[in-house]
Amino acid sequence: MNVVELSGVRKEYPGGVVALAGVDLTVRRGELVGIVGPSGSGKSTLLHIVGSLDRPTRGTVRIAGHDVAGLTDRELAALRARHIGFVFQSFHLAPGLTALDNVADGLLYRGTPLRERRRRAAAALERVGLAERLTHRPHELSGGQRQRVAIARAVAGDPDLLLADEPTGALDTASGGAVLELLRDLNAEGTTIAVITHDHEIAAALPRRVRVRDGRVVADEAAVR
């Protein structure tokens, strides 16, 4: 089954910027896809549209079998909450909250009771190797640990798709490598992942690379399995 199907996707921003100029892209369940390309080529725009944070100007977007064009903003938000986990370069953690509550808050939309959310959050933090850091606040954690909290939050709800935009961009080489390793482990356990990176070494280690330039996919290099 395809988790993502984009067909003829165009995205124009006000002022006439064409960020995506006709993109076709399919991501199958279980894949680990790198999205690479120079700054300004449209990678983040593509990730926002794949993640249904934004709608295309033209073209069709199907996420987990749902055509986003037919959904209201509210339904789109629900789709996103149910099917997609996000990780950003700058972590986006709430500064006053413990690691446990940062992750537990990611499950708020489901109406799950607090106890159950915390139980799941603890399990997710254990999965990313932070079982010993549940009560630490973001300022008490290293950059690499903060990003692992963000990844735990993204996967706690068992999303169909994990989207990461330059997740290693703010990290030193060693913690960046550990974050990549974690993403590979999660993928090996079944999570479908699309990750933007402009680190050539990281990109080279991924089983599939989608190259974006000037708002178009210019190459799609998949390792034969």
Ligand X SMILES: Nc1ncnc2c1ncn2[C@@H]1O[C@H](COP(=O)(O)OP(=O)(O)O)[C@@H](O)[C@H]1O
Q: Is 168 in the site for ligand X (CB under 6 A)?
A: no
Selected binder of ligand X within 1, 16, 39, 73 (CB under 6 A): 39
Selected binder of ligand X within 27, 32, 43, 176 (CB under 6 A): 43
Rounded to an integer, what is the distance from CA 58 to the centroid of its chain? Answer: 23
Instruction: Give the type of residue at 45.
Output: T
Choose between 42 and 56: whose C-beta lies nearer to ligand X: 42
**Using CB under 6 A, which residues numbered 7 to 26 contact ligand X?**
13, 17, 19
Q: Is 45 in the site for ligand X (CB under 6 A)?
A: yes
Kind of pairing, strands 161-165 and 84-88?
A: parallel
Rg (CA), the chain: 17
Q: How far is the CB of 53 from ligand X (least distance, A)?
A: 11
Q: Is 44 in the site for ligand X (CB under 6 A)?
A: yes
Long-range CB pairs of 65-72, under 8 A, 24+ apart, other chains included: 65/1, 65/2
Question: Concatenated DSSP letters for 121-149?
Answer: HHHHHHHTT-GGGTT--GGGS-HHHHHHH
Q: Which does 41 bind (CB under 5 to 8 A by kind): Mg ion, ligand X, none?
A: ligand X
Q: Using CB under 5 A as the criterion, what x/- string covers residues 13-52 for binding Mg ion? A: -------------------------------x--------
Q: What is the DSSP letter of 70?
A: G
Site size for ligand X (CB under 6 A): 11
Residue of 56, 62, 117, 53 whose CA lies nearest to 88? 53
Residues of this chain that interact with Mg ion (CB under 5 A) are: 44
Residues of this chain that interact with ligand X (CB under 6 A) are: 13, 17, 19, 37, 39-45
